[in-house]
A = this chain, B = another copy of it.
Amino acid sequence: MNSEVTKSLNIGICGLGTVGGGTLALLRENSGEIKHRVGFDLRVTRVATRTLEGKDLLAIEQVSTDVFDVARDASIDIVIETIGGLDPALEVIKEALSRGKHVVTANKALIAEYGNELFALARQNNVALAYESSVAGGIPIIKALREGLAGNKINWLAGIINGTGNFIMSEMASKQRQFDEALKEAQDLGYAEADPTFDVEGIDAAHKLTILGSIAFGIPLQFNKTYTEGISHITPEDISYANELGYCIKHLGIARQSEKGIEMRVHPTLLAKSRLLANVNGVGNAVLVHGNMVGATLYSGPGAGAEATASALVADIIDLARHIKSGISAPVYPALGYVEMHDDLSVIGIEDIEAEYYLRIPAVDRVGVMAKISSILQDHDISIEAVIQKEAISETVPIIILTHTAAEKRLNQAIVAIEALADVTGKINRIRVEPFHGEAT
């Protein structure tokens, strides 16, 4: 397309739920400002929605109930996929890309699980599959990693990338609530689904971390190799003990390049209360990135919601519009930030990481228990950084141990051995600690 001819751009939206409806609303509300930024109008000329009820569709020429109508419409330049889920979103995107249309999506599951295939299809057709809105809502973190920090080798990143989980952890911390109560509160406020599995078991965060890790290290998307642990085993007592030790507990997604390979893991994590990341509460998201040159930079903001997600989605549309206006189709930057991926780098298993650990060990209050536990830890090359052992108010009392850096494999063995002690009365709660070695905000 020639910049002299392009006076408008036709956009089709598939799915008018929260995100699709929000995108439509944003494009209307800010149309004047966007015209100033881009130089021409972005017009939504077709939408597909299952039901027209309650939808405000003035000025849209064509409305279908079949999402494929949009993907196949020859007049549409950019297809917005806001259907969610895998079916039919995956096929709609393939159809649109195959027909040489750009696609913009907020669908993290789809990018994390089918992105490699879809980006290849986009490349073949010389169009873009843009996905800024799929991670961390309104925070432009994809752009930051892929472009803003492109001069760096990324050492690690750590993010609060699920607002629901962070809300629950914040509620538990500020109001000493049990997990179940905090979850119910999140559901009542509309932050959590009736079936909260995706959020509280860390699957949603793992989708997002898979995407971030791929861009950070130039590796293919490998959702199935991302270690995923939820937050339902965290208790208010854990939060309180962590607090006593100078930490808070956050549900983090961590990606790191270690000597052994790439770590990709989502799990509850102790981090020092003084860090900015520890002070991101409620449904907020934040990603801390450490590059070998820049050091640590932090990106924080709303991680969900119709308007924040639409903000990121429309940023992608504007990006594409600017490309089209410049006379090129495919974006100047590679979808995952790398022209040559690091095929030599592999994602390692959780057993192969090293970390510091918080252990809550339920034990009978008897002389010599601590000595036995210490001895087992020592046998597994694990040294102790701090211990909390309170006066017993009942017959059992938890022993809280904070370890120095240890191999996860050795720690697992030690946990089995400690749990086998006669004086230990139940399962050990183990939470990883993130010291963010190297300076960090």
A426 is an interface residue with CB less than 8 A from chain B: no
> Can you list 13 A-B pairs, Cβ within 8 angstroms, ordered by A?
A30-B151, A35-B340, A140-B297, A150-B314, A151-B314, A294-B302, A295-B307, A297-B300, A298-B301, A299-B300, A319-B333, A322-B332, A325-B332
> Which residues of chain A have a CB within 8 Å of any CB of chain B?
26, 29-30, 33-39, 132, 137-140, 143-144, 147-153, 218, 276, 279-280, 284, 286, 291-302, 307-308, 310-315, 317-319, 322-323, 325-328, 330, 332-334, 337-342, 441
A439 to B85, CA, bound (A): 31
B315 touches A295 (CB 8 A): no
B147 touches A318 (CB 8 A): yes
B318 touches A150 (CB 8 A): yes
Contact of A311 among B293, B333, B339 (CB under 8 A): B293
Interface of chain A, main secondary structure: mixed
Residues of chain B within 8 A of A296, CB atoms compared? 301-302
Q: Report the minimum CB–CB distance from A280 to chain B (whole Å).
A: 7
A441 touches B293 (CB 8 A): no
A30 touches B153 (CB 8 A): yes
Residues of chain B within 8 A of A310, CB atoms compared? 151, 293
Residues of chain B within 8 A of A300, CB atoms compared? 276, 297-300, 441
Contact of A338 among B36, B295, B311 (CB under 8 A): B36
Q: Report the minimum CB–CB distance from A315 to chain B (whole Å).
A: 5
B280 touches A337 (CB 8 A): no
A151 touches B311 (CB 8 A): yes
A148 touches B338 (CB 8 A): no
